[in-house]
Amino acid sequence: MCERAENLMATANSAPLTFGQLSVWRVMADWPHERWPETYLTGVVGTPADCDADRLVAAFGVLCERHESLRTRFADTARGPVQVVDPAAGEVTVQTVERPVRTADEAAAAGRELARDRIDRAREHARRFALVTDGGRPTHAVITTDHIVADGFAMGRLRAELTALIGGDSSEGRRWLEERPPQPSALALAQQSAAGRARGDAVLRYWRDLLAALPADTFPVPDAAGGSPGRIEAVLRSPRARASLADVAKQRGLAPHDVLLALTSLAVAVIEETTRVVMTLQSSNRFSPPWRTVVSSMNQYAPMMLDTDPAPRTFDDYVRHVQRTALKAYRFGSYDIDEVDALVRAERGRAPGYDHFYNFLAHDVTQTAPSGGADRPGRVEATRPHRQIGPRFDVKVLGGPEMPVVVRADPGLVPAPRLHALLNWYDEELQRLAGDSVSSPDALIRRCGRALERAVPA
């Protein structure tokens, strides 16, 4: 395998990994192989009635021609991991799953079955293409990728382009098909350039300052904390919370992302019984052309520290403080994970470990009108997490009329009754904040504490 990898390195179509690819490589390196498919991404496209299998296979081929990630292998070498881009030649492999499905979620589950075993990144292109058929007629096209190939944005672009290629309705996809897409191998070389190195030096200065401010018992989190399988999950679906968040944002000039991040940091303060909170943001690193639309994995962890005691007098002031801190974390969220790892090990004697994740994807909150049900409390329901490993506390806010707030947690940290109580607290606090501009962070912390105390673990 080593000789094979060195041969790959010697080819003209190889390049170092991008920072995003390298982060995925390192983060998953010690995970049990059977857990890897839990992290794979899936995108589903409904097929028009007049779209046959040949057109779908051809469309997948066009995607592979346009985006290097879909025809790239990843190998370890004596000089580090590399990406090897194969030529766009021949018909791509598209498998068929014959199954009547009623929803896109059911189609996604059918397509993901083809990736239930770990994809060998060095020997295979790290994706699977599937057609879900009913009586032989394609009803859905499914893309499943290793996270090293795509993040959520990249999967959205692939879905949009595939929709347009098969005659579906996607103006975004048609617009993207007119563009020549940026490629990860070019990004990797740019990150290794002199300008890229200068930015890397600035990132290391930021990390040194962060470590100087953080007590050793606060960061890094012991890496083993996220490596023990066993997670629960629940979701709040609440048009009322969405409408309230939009009101708070519009009336007081606050970003929805920052309002919910501030709420989440106060919840973490209660859960961890601390006044110094370390949150982990997921920086998209899609802030500047030409790389903002590349099909690759760009996300990286961006830790930030918040003190809740003393906190600003009002919640609004606290949100503004959170915003400033988050923007700085995002600014330095693209980095060589090996260099940061070496710095943290030198300063703290152990590898970086992260927890208390927050990822906000509800960018439509202030763009569309509230839906029906905005006058009723939301509903909380238990769901089954795809991943049984990773952060002990992970919050993801999704778009749509119900603005799902999905929390995956280690039940040893947040038992199920308390997890459900926490999500109800989100719903109630957002409604309260819409009518109260003088609430203090301390008051929110007290109400969160009482809500969790009333939830007696089973």
92-112 pLDDT per residue, tens: 999 999 999 999 999 999 999
- How far is the C-alpha of 9 from the C-alpha of 12, rounded, in Å? 8
2-187 and 203-454 have identical folds: yes
- In this structure, the number of other CB atoms found within 10 A of the CB of residue 272 comes to 17
Question: Cβ distance 111 to 133 under 8 Å?
Answer: no
Domain 2-187 falls in which CATH fold? Chloramphenicol Acetyltransferase (3.30.559)
Lowest mean pLDDT among 161-175, 235-249, 280-294, 365-379: 365-379
**Virtual CA dihedral for 429, 433, 434, 435, nearest 10 degrees?**
120
Taking alpha carbons only, the member of 67, 77, 113 closest to residue 5 is 77
Given a cut of 70, whether residue 437 has pLDDT beyond it is yes
* Secondary structure element (H or E) that encloses residue 98, with its range: strand 95-98
- How far is the C-alpha of 9 from the C-alpha of 75, rounded, in Å? 8
Question: Cβ distance 23 to 352 under 8 Å?
Answer: no
Given a cut of 50, whether residue 3 has pLDDT beyond it is no
Q: Which residues pair with 282 in a beta bridge?
A: 301
| pTM (2 d.p.) | 0.89
- How far is the C-alpha of 336 from the C-alpha of 81, rounded, in Å? 13
Lowest mean pLDDT among 106-110, 146-150, 222-226: 222-226
**Virtual CA dihedral for 47, 50, 52, 57, nearest 10 degrees?**
-50
Strands 127-134 and 95-98: parallel
- Write down the residue that tokens 């299998």 correspond to: 53
Query: What backbone torsions phi and psi does residue 392 show, to the nearest 5 degrees?
Result: -80, -20
User: pLDDT tens digits for 287-318?
Assistant: 989 999 999 999 999 999 999 988 889 999 99
Quote the distance between the C-alpha of residue 233 and its chain's center: 16
Read off the tokens for 423. 């999500």
pLDDT value of position 371:
66
The letter for the amino acid at 64 is C
Given a cut of 80, whether residue 246 has pLDDT beyond it is yes
Q: Which residues pair with 237 in a beta bridge?
A: 379
Sheet holding 405-409, edge to edge: 300-307, 276-283, 357-360, 393-397, 405-409, 232-237, 379-383
pLDDT value of position 399:
93
Q: What is the average pLDDT score of the chain?
A: 92
- Residue range 279-284: average pLDDT? 95
- How far is the C-alpha of 400 from the C-alpha of 402, rounded, in Å? 6
Lowest mean pLDDT among 48-57, 255-264, 296-305, 362-371: 362-371
Question: Cβ distance 239 to 370 under 8 Å?
Answer: yes
- Residue range 404-420: average pLDDT? 96
pLDDT value of position 92:
94
Q: Which residues pair with 396 in a beta bridge?
A: 359, 406
Given a cut of 50, whether residue 411 has pLDDT beyond it is yes
Residue 110 burial class via C-beta count within 10 angstroms: exposed 0-12, middle 13-18, buried 19 and up: buried
Read off the tokens for 396. 């993801």
- How far is the C-alpha of 304 from the C-alpha of 294, rounded, in Å? 26
- Write down the residue that tokens 């999950």 correspond to: 233
Sequence-distant (6+) residues with CB within 8 A of 215 are: 276
pLDDT value of position 99:
96
DSSP H helical segments within 67-151, as ranges? 104-112
pLDDT value of position 86:
95
pLDDT value of position 9:
46
Homologous superfamily in CATH for domain 203-454: Nonribosomal peptide synthetase, condensation domain (3.30.559.30)
Given a cut of 80, whether residue 369 has pLDDT beyond it is no
Question: Cβ distance 117 to 128 under 8 Å?
Answer: no
Question: Cβ distance 440 to 313 under 8 Å?
Answer: yes
Given a cut of 50, whether residue 6 has pLDDT beyond it is no
Residue 439, SS3 per DSSP: coil
Question: Cβ distance 45 to 159 under 8 Å?
Answer: yes
Read off the tokens for 49. 């009635």
Given a cut of 50, whether residue 10 has pLDDT beyond it is no
Counting residues of the chain whose pLDDT is more than 90, the rounded percentage is 82
- How far is the C-alpha of 295 from the C-alpha of 286, rounded, in Å? 11
Sheet holding 72-75, edge to edge: 14-16, 82-85, 72-75
Given a cut of 50, whether residue 196 has pLDDT beyond it is yes
Question: Cβ distance 405 to 268 under 8 Å?
Answer: no
Cα distances from 456 to residues 414, 424, 446, in angstroms, run 11, 15, 17
Provide the pLDDT confidence category of residue 4 given band limits of 50, 70 and 90.
Answer: very low
The domain segmentation of the chain, as residue ranges, is 2-187, 203-454
Given a cut of 90, whether residue 255 has pLDDT beyond it is yes
Given a cut of 50, whether residue 257 has pLDDT beyond it is yes
**Virtual CA dihedral for 446, 451, 456, 458, nearest 10 degrees?**
-130
User: pLDDT tens digits for 380-396?
Assistant: 999 998 878 889 999 99
Sequence-distant (6+) residues with CB within 8 A of 73 are: 8, 83, 84, 86, 121, 122, 123, 124, 125, 126
Provide the pLDDT confidence category of residue 226 given band limits of 50, 70 and 90.
Answer: low
